[in-house]
């Protein structure tokens, strides 16, 4: 498998992304401890919740004095998009129920994006697993480092908060070459931006899913009802 130069390239990109997420995870460790979590709790969140956006949202609500219920609400809404990713990925991941229950834990922004960027099924599956596992390893390592550092550093000084959107820009760009994904991406971004000031945290990204309707070819009149029902 690794004799295939294309596969090597894909693996390298997947591991690179995992590493970048790991560096970003340091800022989660710092934020969690700052919000009153113990080092063990910060690490348990990364091991078990393993949904970066939810974890960040939860600790930031708690840090600003929010109740556990409101922290949970926003975090759960952010986690809901992994359900949508799972649905998109299910066609590409086969295997036993046990294998898919393991795969479920690594259904993330990163693994889905990397898989979607590949052209054929073998590369897609490999990209999903390698990205998921490398993000898992690096995310948890980074969390531990950040939790131990505590508030000794400010991650923003190093631009770590820009590292993740920058990485996603890198993954998104090749997808924009085709017309349909480009339209879906533009619509998703516009919907998200428009909703940020008016809806609770988590809702704008979830609602960006409607962007796919702008990417699907306009149905002919006899298919119209089918498209609406879908």
- How many angstroms separate the CA atoms of 47 and 49, rounded? 6
- Cβ nearer to other proteins, comparing 6 with 162: 162
Find the part of the chain contacting other proteins (CB under 8 A) among 119-127, 133-141, 145-153, 176-184: 176-184
Using CB under 8 A as the binding rule, the residues of this chain from 10 to 29 that contact other proteins are 13, 16-17, 19-20
Shortest distance in whole angstroms from residue 139 CB to other proteins: 13
The answer to the question of residue 201 lying near other proteins (CB under 8 A) is yes
CB of 152 to other proteins, least distance (A): 17
Please say whether the beta carbons of 186 and 173 come within 8 A: no
Answer for which of 7, 39, 149, 209 binds other proteins (CB under 8 A) is 209
| Cβ–Cβ < 8 Å for 30, 145 | no
> What values do phi and psi take at 90, rounded to 5?
-60, -30
The dihedral through the CA atoms of 82, 229, 188, 219 has a sign that is positive
Q: Are 205 and 78 in contact (CB under 8 A)?
A: yes
60-89 residues near other proteins, rule: CB under 8 A: 60, 62, 68, 71-72, 75-76, 79-89
Is 191 among the residues that bind other proteins (CB under 8 A)?
A: yes
Q: How far is the CB of 4 from other proteins (least distance, A)?
A: 18
Q: Binders of other proteins among 28-47, rule CB under 8 A?
A: 32, 35-38, 41, 44-45
208 makes contact with other proteins (CB under 8 A): yes
Residue 100 and residue 14 in contact, taking contact as beta carbons nearer than 8 Å: no
d(CA 178, CA 77): 30
Eight-class DSSP state of 46: I
Considering the complex, state which of residue 93 and residue 148 has its C-beta at the smaller distance from other proteins.
Answer: 93
Burial (CB count within 10 angstroms: exposed 0-12, middle 13-18, buried 19+), residue 82: buried
For residue 172, state whether it binds other proteins (rule: CB under 8 A). Answer: yes
b/e sequence 152-187, b meaning 16+ C-beta within 10 Å: eeebeeeebeebbeebeeebbeeeeeeeebebbbeb
Interface with other proteins: number of residues (CB under 8 A): 108
Residues 133-162 that bind other proteins (CB under 8 A): 156-162
Using CB under 8 A, which of the segments 113-121, 135-143, 145-153 binds other proteins? 113-121
């Amino acid at each position: 498998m690794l004799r295939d130069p294309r596969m090597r390239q894909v693996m390298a990109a997947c591991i690179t992304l995992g590493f970048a997420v790991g560096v970003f995870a340091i800022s989660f460790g710092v934020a969690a401890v700052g919000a009153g979590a113990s080092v063990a709790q910060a690490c348990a969140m990364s091991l078990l919740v393993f949904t970066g956006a939810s974890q960040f949202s939860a600790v930031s609500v708690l840090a600003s004095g929010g109740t556990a219920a409101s922290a949970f609400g926003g975090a759960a809404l952010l986690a809901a998009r992994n359900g949508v990713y799972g649905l998109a990925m299910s066609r590409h991941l086969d295997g036993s129920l046990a294998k898919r229950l393991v795969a479920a834990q690594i259904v993330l922004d990163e693994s889905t994006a990397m898989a979607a960027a590949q052209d054929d099924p073998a590369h897609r599956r490999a990209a999903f697993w390698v990205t998921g596992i490398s993000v898992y390893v690096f995310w948890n390592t980074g969390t531990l480092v950040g939790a131990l550092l505590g508030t000794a550093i400010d991650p923003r000084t190093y631009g770590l908060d820009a590292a993740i959107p920058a990485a996603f820009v890198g993954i998104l760009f090749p997808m924009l070459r085709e017309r349909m994904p480009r339209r879906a991406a533009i619509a998703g971004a516009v919907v998200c931006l428009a909703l940020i000031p008016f809806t609770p945290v988590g809702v704008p990204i979830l609602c960006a899913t409607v962007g796919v309707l702008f990417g699907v070819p306009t149905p002919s009149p006899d298919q119209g009802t089918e498209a609406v029902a879908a």
